[in-house]
Structure formats: C-alpha cells, structure tokens
Chains A and B, each alone.
Chain A
C-alpha cells in the first residue's frame, strides 16, 4: 500500500487512475434504512440455519443493515447511515437538532457518520434478541390496527435526512416492507395520492428511494396493488441538489425477494450507481447519441491510513495539504500563478550560469527577459494531453471479434449505457448497434476522451447482450469499453527460443489438465473475495471495536483446492513428472532458451537442475 504521502504527491493532472478513485471518494453516500415494523415483520418463525432458534423479518433486516454498515464503514468511512422504523408506537425523543417525526415512525439511529459504537449498539440489540425473542417487540412495539400512512413515512424520511445528511451527498432510502397493500379499504385513493405527493417531495429533495420488498409463499408481494401507482418513474429532484450525473431511474432499483436473499439484494445496491462520465458517442458526422460510463470492475484497494493527533479527549484527523513553495524564498505559491516547464538542467537558460563558480549557481531558477515566458500555463499542458479533443467517444469503425487479443490489455474496462436524457433516440440506436455487432461477431474501434482531464485512448467496444440468468444476476445490455495499449505500452517478448515438449510429454500433461478442467466453467470472480483486503479489514474492525483479532479465524478462499487437485489428478501429475525426467527433448547440448537480443551461449548452464 502506498503511504499516504505518496498518494498526495500524484498530480491532479497526471494520474487518471487516481481521479477515478477520487470521484468515488469525493461524493458521500447517505443511506436511511426505512424498515416496516408491523406485526408481520415481528412474527417469529424458525430460523432456517440454526436449530431451535427463532427469527423474524425485522431481525434479518437489521442484521443485513449491520452487514451493510460494516462494509460501508470501511469502504466509505465518511458515509452516513441511519435507521428509521415505521408502524411502531415507540416515540423518538426530540432534541434541538432533530425534528419531531410523524406519528408511528421512529428514528432508531438518526443519520450520522458511521462509527464503531453505533454498529455495536445494533449488534447488542440483535444478540439480546437471540437470547430473548421478545426483545425486538419490546424495543419497537408494533402499531395495532391501522397502518401508518405511507405519506407520513416518506415525510419522516425527508425530515430525518434533512436533519442529518450533508447537502451534497447522494441520499438514498432503503425501504423495506413485506406489506404490498398498506392502505386497502375506504379512503385508499386519498392515501395513495398523499403517498405519491410526499414521495415527490422526497425525490425533489434529492433523495432516491430504493425499495426492497419481502415476498413469502404465504404472503406474495404484488407491486400493482399499491406501489406501482406510488413509485415514480424518474428522479425529479432539483439539479442543484443532487448528483446530477446519476439519473437513478427509480424503477431500476425495485427488488422483490425472499427474506433470505435480502442481504444479497442490498449488496447490489450497496454502492450508489454513479456514472464516471456522461458524453456524446459519435457514430458518424451528424449522428451522435448520449452515453454514460460506469466502472464495473476496478481494483478495490485497502484504505489509506491517516494521520491523527491526540487532543487529549479525542483523536483528531489531521488534514493534509500540499503546497508548492519557492525554496529560496520559503514562499508559498498560488496555484494560479504557476507555470509549467521542463526540469531545469536540461534547459538552455539554466546553463548560462554553468561556467561560473558552482557554489553560486541557483540551479532552481531560469532567468529570462521581462515579457518572455518559456513556460506553459495549466491550460496549455492540458491541451498537450488531450490534443485539443473535447470529451466524447468517436467511432472509427468495426473489426472482427477475434481481433481483440488477450494481450491487448493495459487497464480495466468501463461500461457504457445509453443516456436517453442527453439525446432522445439513444436507446434504440444503441440497442440496434449491440444487436448488429453481436449478430455479425464484430467489435467497435473507438477513440475516446472520457473526461476533460483524461488523455485520448483507443478502445475496443465489446458488445454485451442482455442475459437472463437463473443465478440471480443479469448481465445488462451495453458495451464494454476496453482500453487498447499504445505502441508505447507494448514490450517485446523477452525470450525468443526455447526447448519444446515431445507429444508424449504433452499428452501426459493433457491427462491431468483434463481432470482439473471445469467443463462449463469460467473465471468466477464471486468465488474469490480478496484475502489480503479481508484480512486487513477484519483487523481494522477488531481494532475499532477494541477487540483482539484472532488470525487463525481467517480463511483464504483463493488458495487452490489442494485436496481436490491431488485426489483427482495426483497420480497423473506424478506420471507426467516421470515422463519429464525421461524426456529426451531437453537432452541436447546446444543452447537452450535464447534470450532475445543476446548472443550469450548458454551451454554452461548445464547440467539440468533437478528440481523434482
């Protein structure tokens, strides 16, 4: 991990990779769990995982909330989370900074930055429930009879968020309920209208509602009863207030699942969907559509440490600031006054002093006549990087799918999806392009400048059709934007010549490869949580909870399944090793592996090292 200092040293202009990260770090995420606490949510049932244990929906939901909090506290230490319950008679205490909420709603944890104590508080509550299943019902008594109007719930959400969430954050409400028809009976139309109106108010305050509906065989969830007429198609909030790059079309976010899958569902929504860029995609002169770019794969790194100062009663983070100074003057220089040039020592002017007494030379200065400026402005150097292009994707043409080689890779891909709100007709055009390329087994070749500060790159445009997958995750339709290496990035093969295996030896290898192949397998990212990251985070959590960490409890899921390997292929591997020792291919006294570009005779490297 790079020490914090190094991170700061990277120039804003010069490291795109960092900007990607900064984009995510810069924007805070606020989640308010808004959980139905009515009778059916508290109803005890047998725990499917543990014998003689009882659980209830509310318990599962809170447990999921804790998991999400634990993840967020590490990934986004500046994010904030709150928990609000509705359909409970418990009353919120009002305070100077908190509004009084609507009847039947209770702010269990007001929106606040995450911390170890708040997470531990919920964990303790859940532990108490395990001891005594009545605990949750005692803590949050359900309302008897008529349900709280959903309009009041949304209004309370609005107030809770208003009190606690910073203006600029991405604000989301995770609405969790198993009730698909809260307002049946007379007067329902009015309640629907008020729910809808209050929901509009909420979205206009920049809040997105992401519903998680719980469906059970006894009580299937039917959105058309109530919610389809309440939930809004689009985010209506004011552009000044919200992350304007994120349309958060609300209906994308509805999920209906079994209670057991709730956590998995929430995981999909854990990170707010944010576009990295929103730019035009020019198919031809006069034919452009709008697209947004997303990072679907990016290396998740360990957090960076910070510097703290002990203020006695608390530890405070020190802000780090990088300033540029003229050393000889010890004077800080304003960014606007900076100009850019090449390191002195290479430049003509610096040498004027060269022939004089060394000690007198101030090698850090280039002296020029007044009015002359052999330096560039920040804008100049940006234009050298962008070659004057404006952000956008430009189609260059199409190639066969197999032209995209394995080795033509340099960094992670991005994903683009049409943006109908920038250009109407984007979706149908984009969709037609995907279908056409898939049918013809083609890829696109594009030149793109994805952001103002980026550098232009060539990308392969790999179409992805929507895939309906039983496994729960659907591949969305779109294009993967795969950066191609430049000639500057490609290294020559370091070895040009080597000894090769005989067919017999190859067949011996083939035997165990056959045994170790997964027929319809592929690389399964989901099976490999990053062990180093998990190990780090577990220790971080223990440190925050003031607990001792037990390294033995850690399991590294990325280790090969040794037992399985030896069971299936052990004997064949042994046979191959025997064949290798007896193989004659290597039994020659001429030069083996020839390093490219060297003429070194390698005969001296014999005899063979007998490794096996």
Chain B
C-alpha cells in the first residue's frame, strides 16, 4: 500500500436507507458467562451502521489512544482536524443534494451530514437514521458523493479521497454509463470500499442462501465495478465489522533530540577531547492502554429540572417517534478528581505510642487499598481537613521533619551530553540489567562530517566487538544516567543504541538457596536429592526443550524455509487494543448489557498459545517430563494449628540436615558452611510426598472447604503442613475450568460468588434470582468453619448485593437477608467475628431505610431509627 499522508483525507459514507435495510436480523453476541449463546435483534441498517460509526469514532480520536501525555490533551480533544468525513443517504424520503439542486434528478439521495471533522454529534445523528419507504440508487449516490467531495476539495487537491458505500444490494441500480463513473473516480484517485450486508465472500467463507435475484445481479455488478477501479474493494459486512477490531499500529517516528557525544575533558584538554554532534531518537517506548474516565449516576435529576427542561423538550421532540414522552432518564456524570489533605491533630495522644507509624500508614492506604475501606472511614473521623495553602513541603527523615520548601534540594550540577567512560567486550554485557527503553544515537543528519565521525567509532567498536559505558545527561542540570552503547551497522547508516543500566542503588542482592550444591549436616556434598534432577529427568527435559523449539515453527519465507515463530513487530499489546475496542464500543452503543463487547480480534491472541505444530511434535516429550518430574501441587494451607511447637522435638533425631553452599562472605575466611536446608521437607521420600498429594487432590475438589478433619489430624505425617507456607498458588489460577461450585438450580456458586453475581447482572433479567441466590451463598459460606479467610470477599459480595438491591428494587430481599444473617451470626455456633466486621462497615452494609430507598426511587418498611438500632 502506498504511504499515505496521515490525515488530509475526506471520506464520504454513502448509506443505504431503502426499505429492505429495515429487515431485522439476529446478531450473535459473545457467549455468556456460562458459554451460553446470546443474540440480539437489530435491523440491517443498525447493524451496518456500526461499521460506519466505528470508522468515524476512529477518526474522532485516533490520537487519544496512543498518546497519554497531557501536552497532547488539546489535540486529542479535537482529534485530527484534517481527517474529515461526510454522510450521504440514498433511499431517503426527501431529496437534497447538490446535483439535484442544480440539474434535478438524483432523487431520494440526501446529503445527511455535510463534510467536516466528525464530532460526537456525527455519531448521534447516525443513530437517528431509519429505513425509509423509498428506494435510492447507489450509483446516483456515488455520483453525488464524488461531486460533493470534489466541490469541498476544489482547493485542496492533494487530499486523499475515499468513499464507502454501505448497502444490502436489494434495490435496483441504474447501471448505464458506469464506465464514465469509473473513469472519473480513477482520475481523482478515489478509493471505494463497498460494504455489503450478507454479500457472498469466499475468502471469508460466507455465502447467503436464498439470495434474491436482484441482489445476486447487484453483487456481480459491484464486483465488476470495483475491479475496474484503481482502488476498489467489496467486502461483506460481517468481516468488515470484525476487521474494525484488528490491531492497528500507527507507526510513530520519534523526534530527533540534539546532544553531544564526548570523550575526554573538553574544557582543559580541548585539543585531544572529542565532541561529536549527535541526535537521539527513541527505539522503543512503552505504550499503555488509554485511561478510562470515571462516571457515576447523578443522584436525582429532578433538582436540575429547570436547567434542563428546555433540553428535555427538544430531545423528546426529536425522538417522539420512537420513545415515549415520559421515558425516564438517568444521567451519568463524568467525575473529576480532587485531592484533599487531612491532618491528625490528636495523634500524640495515642496510647501505644506508635501513632506516627499509623499515620503514615493511612497515607498509603487511603488511596490505594480498597479493602481498607471500613478502617479508612473510622480513621477519617479523627482527621481534620486542611487547605493546601496551610501546608509546607518537606521530607520525612524517619519521623523527623526535614524542611525543604522548594520540594527539592539543589540539584547536582551536570552538563548536557553523553560522556564515554570506557569500552568492554560485548560478550560480557549482562542483558538482564538493561533497565528501560532503548534510544538510537545518530551522527547529526545535517553534517556529513559528524556522520563520518560517529561512523568511524561505530565501525571500530563493531569490528572489535565491544560496547561502551557511557554517562548521559539529557539537559544541563538533569540527573545523570549510566548506560551502555552498542554499535549498529545498518545497510546505509551506522549508529549506536543506548540502554540505561542500573546504578549500585538499583541492584538488589537477595540471597537464594543453591539449587545444586546441597550439603548434609555432616558436611557431605549431596549428589542425590529430590531437589537435584536425576540423569533421567535431565534427559526428559532436554527432549522437551528440543521438541518445543520455535526456531523452525513459524511461517515459511520466500525460499520455503521455516522462520522462527513469534516476532515482536507482529505482537500487539492485547491490553491496549482490547481497551481501545471496548472504549469505541461503549461510545457507540447505548447499553453494554444488551449489546456486549464482541470478542477480541484473533490477531491479538495469536501468540497466546504455542504453535500447534510444536505442541503436536512435543506430545511425547511432555508426557515423559510429567512422569519423570512428578510435580504435584501442594494443597492449600489448612488453618494454622498454632501452638504445636513441641511436635518439632522430633526433628532432633538424625534427620538429614542439609547444609547448602555458603552464601557470600566477602573474601570469606571460612567457607565451609552456610545454609541449612529443610531438614524435614516432604520431598525427602517419594512415598511421603505421594501420600500427601493424595490428600491434596481430595481437597482441591472441594476448593474452599479444605478443612477436612483428616488433614488437620495428621500434621506429624507431613511436617511441611506445619511449616509456614507462603500463599500457595490458588488452584483457581491454573485452569479456567474450576468448578464454580454452583448448587443445582442456583445461578450463584460458592466458588466465585461475586463474579457469578456480576455476570448474571450483566445479562439482566435475573436480578431477583441472583440476589436471592447470593443471599443463600453468603450465609452458607459465613456459617462454614474457617470462613474468616473469606470475610473480605464476603463483604465485597454484600457491598455489591446491597448496591444492586438498592438500584434494582430488591430492597426487601436485602433487608430480610441481612436480618437473617444477623440472627445466624449472633446465635450459636454463629460467626460473631464476621458480624462485627459487617457492623464495622456501618451504613454501607446495613439495612436500607425508607429514606435511603426513596432516594433511589424504591420503598422500604424500615425506618432510620430501626436501622440505627439494628447496628447497635
């Protein structure tokens, strides 16, 4: 494809609104949470308009997806001004176009949206399009489109011209003289994209059964027509819609920044010191998904009635045809962020004397940790809000205040430039220390001599196979960074690549137990141990590594040789593109529940699994590894038996006590000992670990209920069960097919109640059932032994449930659930602890009073007093 100038484009969308476009179709939606199929009904016009809207949405905010820095904000808001479009409908009731105005004819073709930079209004206007009672001729529309575009661009001849026709091909076409149109379009370099509803497409694999004769003829015509164009294509609508989600990289060329590459002391040794004018540009730069804006339902729209009444009237008038006059509306307001400052004047009165620490704690927690919400609320009450103007800046030196009104101390004086410090062999480069984004360093493109100068250094480094250590200061007075420069010899230019390397402060030297060197208590080096792979295991691994090799697993190149699989240049950041797709989607649809986001484009997921070819040939190797290594998931920790310290006495016996190779003693005087390895690890004897695994499997099945009395009773059989076990990886992360724990007839399971609940709500319709089932599940879990592990989760469930109850008129259900929960928790055996946590949450988890219910348009039989009493 020829390189296009970004922007400077006018796209004409020609939309068919003939009666046949009103035919309804069933559109498949992404599968529901349980894999059930879901569909939606819409007209062909609505369906096809999605394509137009997504394309226009792309024009509206192309930039905003890819730039996150604030300085672009203005640009983002305006999008790219030179990306413009207009919309013409054919099959409209009235006729309104420039050719008709002049010469008549061209009936039922209307210029619906004049050419301009699209804005939010453009999309809304498209939504208002409805199929009419009249047929329009696409060729008429095409000619009108060409003329309208030409008139608009009469003084902007270099702009790119595009036309998109969206039609179902069911209306008659006046095909006479079409060659003249082709000639005209080719003359103006207009590209034509024809999106056909249910057009046949062999490549995509779609054929429409029972196609009308008219449509068959029209499709043939379109194919012939577009193939005569220099730039023309016909596509079926379904594929077009899918392709709108294809990840699309806007190649950004980075700005060149000037600096100086130096060697030696320029000021005093000028005749020897080297200075080369260079330009740097980014080679890699981390992109992130665009951030979301936060919204919330604005409470009681009534208050605003006066201000909005005009607007309302107008709006309702517009929509009279399809909406009831009294349609209730909800306003979602975009939220702004505000920073508030609080101070705790009574801090020092704190009994424990550790107030200072607590206070600083709240700094971190307030913003970052949702789970601390209840605690936070309590804290807040002791805090006093202060204005920013009353505050001074400073640093904390422990608990000591170190004044620093400027917010920073004088900076280290530095001089802009890249200083070479020395060279070292490239093979000694430690790739894992590379800290960040890579930069190119070019000889000044404006000076041949500077280019030659840099080239000589690059080539000499390349020849000697060395890298340079360098110190980079981006601007006078900026903090220096240390890094490494490597020579790159391209076909037509030489340059250096820079990467930042860590300072001493940036490296953490944690100690890790040796994997190989295990020493027994008696000082003997062990060659056999469950931690050390055996000969057989190593061989199984070697075979696995060979089988899973990707070097020949990719596409074939021109000579038919297989290429390596995976290329960074083709790996799209799934989060960025999925987020973009989701943003566009919610901007063009009116409801997420009934019109959920389609699946991600397959291109995003193409590297998510090893290539089939590799999986196939490694099947045996994988099986061998499985049987050779016998890896078993260790069951999740059972609640701690606290005071079992005495049981450890048994370790006194001659259990093998492993000592590992000594961890670094600097120029150690004495090197014999250092690390004592697990003396009673379960891996010692295969039989033991096997027995243990069996337990684990049973436990896994019950997921959260692994309090089987069995495993509690046998701590001595498997000592590690007493050992502190850090967060054993939850089984649920392993496989998406975890049993959701749904009891028969229930839509909410005990495994992921919150997720189930949300999924069901997203589907709509089943709110009552969802609330009812969640009530049961919460109560069940809370009454189970050891449920404290899940209290946080339960509280979240309750938050969600209360919120839903309030907004979905399930207030009575909530109130009766809560009353029941309280009874159960406070009676024997009960769960007093959990109930007190519920109480701590205060009103946020209490009964819903009549007052609160009213605010949300519901009703409740509980009074404010009763709520207060209930919590007491």
Contacts and interface: CB of A to CB of B under 8 A. Distances in A.
B349 interface: no
Contacts of B607: 396, 447, 458
B687 interface: no
Interface in A242-283: 242-247, 249-258, 261, 264-265, 267-269, 271, 273, 275, 278-280, 282-283
A554 B412 CA distance: 9
Interface string B494-530: 1101010111111111111111110001010000001
B505 A421 contact: no
Given A286-B626, A328-B333, A498-B443, A417 B120 contact: no
Given A280-B734, A566-B272, A258 B667 contact: yes
Contact of A333 (B296, B352, B365, B668): B296
Contact of B295 (A319, A366, A428, A571): A366
Contacts of A507: 460
B411 interface: yes
B708 interface: no
Interface in B652-708: 652, 657, 659-670, 673-683, 689, 692-693
B503 A528 contact: yes
Interface in A87-127: 97, 113-119
B611 to A, nearest CB: 7
In this complex, the member of A311, A324, A326, A556 whose beta carbon has the largest number of chain B beta carbons within 10 angstroms is A326
Contacts of B101: none
Interface in A367-402: 367-377, 379-381, 384-388, 390-392, 394-400
A410 B410 CA distance: 31
B95 to A, nearest CB: 23
A257 B343 CA distance: 47
A351 B331 contact: no
B447 A592 contact: yes
Interface residues of B, number: 317
Contacts of B803: 336-337
Interface string A156-183: 0000000010100000000000000000
A491 B253 contact: yes
Given A238-B640, A510-B460, A323 B452 contact: no
A327 B514 CA distance: 58
B395 A369 contact: no
A493 B252 CA distance: 10
B586 A560 contact: no
Contact of A252 (B362, B511, B682): B511
A432 to B, nearest CB: 4
Contacts of A348: 53, 120, 123-124, 126-127, 587-588, 590
B215 interface: no
Given A316-B345, A486-B572, A570-B264, A432 B514 contact: no
Contact of A583 (B119, B402, B452, B589): B452
A374 to B, nearest CB: 5
A385 B397 contact: no
B253 A365 contact: no
A322 interface: yes
Contact of B428 (A164, A255, A380, A522): A522
Contacts of B213: none
Contacts of A310: 392
Interface in B436-471: 436-438, 440, 442-453, 455-457, 459-461, 463-464, 466-467, 469, 471
B438 to A, nearest CB: 5
A410 B437 contact: yes
In this complex, the member of B390, B391, B755 whose beta carbon has the largest number of chain A beta carbons within 10 angstroms is B391
Interface stretch (A22-30, A34-42, A132-140, A142-150): A22-30
Contact of B344 (A286, A316, A336): A316
B645 A78 contact: no
Contacts of B548: 284, 395, 397-398
A526 B504 contact: yes
Contacts of B425: 517, 519-522
Interface string A565-608: 11000110110110010010111100011111100001001101
A408 B188 CA distance: 43
B144 to A, nearest CB: 24
A428 B531 CA distance: 5
A216 B383 CA distance: 55
A397 B452 contact: no
B120 A354 contact: yes
Contacts of A314: 348, 401
Given A315-B401, A322-B367, A487-B571, A513 B464 contact: yes
B784 interface: no
In this complex, the member of A316, A487, A488 whose beta carbon has the largest number of chain B beta carbons within 10 angstroms is A488
Contact of A423 (B295, B453, B570, B632): B632
B338 A306 contact: no
Nearest to B543: A436
Given A326-B298, A540-B395, A566-B272, A407 B449 contact: no
A302 B506 CA distance: 12
Contacts of B633: 288, 290, 422-423
Nearest to B78: A345
Contacts of A190: none
A397 B550 contact: yes
Given A436-B545, A458-B607, A400 B512 contact: no
Contact of B289 (A14, A338, A506): A14
Contacts of A151: none
Nearest to B630: A425
B745 to A, nearest CB: 25
Interface string A474-495: 1011101010111111111111
Interface stretch (B153-161, B163-171, B476-484, B819-827): B476-484
Contact of A594 (B445, B486, B507): B445
Interface string B265-284: 10001011111110101111
B409 interface: yes
A573 B274 contact: yes
Interface in B605-657: 605, 607-611, 614, 618, 622, 625-626, 629-634, 637, 640, 642, 645, 648-649, 652, 657
A73 B461 CA distance: 44
Contacts of B9: none
Contact of B409 (A280, A387, A540): A540
B330 interface: yes
B383 A490 contact: no
Nearest to A247: B726
A305 B396 CA distance: 8
B566 interface: yes
Interface in A455-482: 455-458, 462, 464, 466, 468-470, 472-474, 476-478, 480, 482
Given A252-B512, A287-B629, A322-B337, A494 B432 contact: no
A299 B758 contact: no
A342 B460 contact: no
Given A495-B442, A496-B492, A490 B449 contact: no
A221 interface: yes
Nearest to A111: B354
B663 A254 contact: yes
Interface stretch (B17-25, B104-112, B223-231, B416-424): B416-424
Nearest to A311: B345
A252 B518 CA distance: 12
A489 B284 contact: yes
Given A1-B408, A307-B391, 20 more contacts: A26-B364, A77-B395, A113-B399, A115-B397, A240-B640, A247-B724, A247-B725, A254-B676, A257-B669, A271-B508, A286-B622, A385-B578, A412-B434, A433-B541, A487-B570, A488-B573, A489-B287, A512-B263, A513-B460, A560-B264
10 contacts: A244-B724, A355-B121, A384-B597, A420-B531, A421-B726, A501-B455, A522-B428, A529-B504, A565-B263, A565-B265
Task: In the A-B complex, list the 5 residue pairs whose CB atoms are closest, starting with the nearest.
Answer: A593-B445, A114-B398, A501-B456, A544-B397, A351-B120
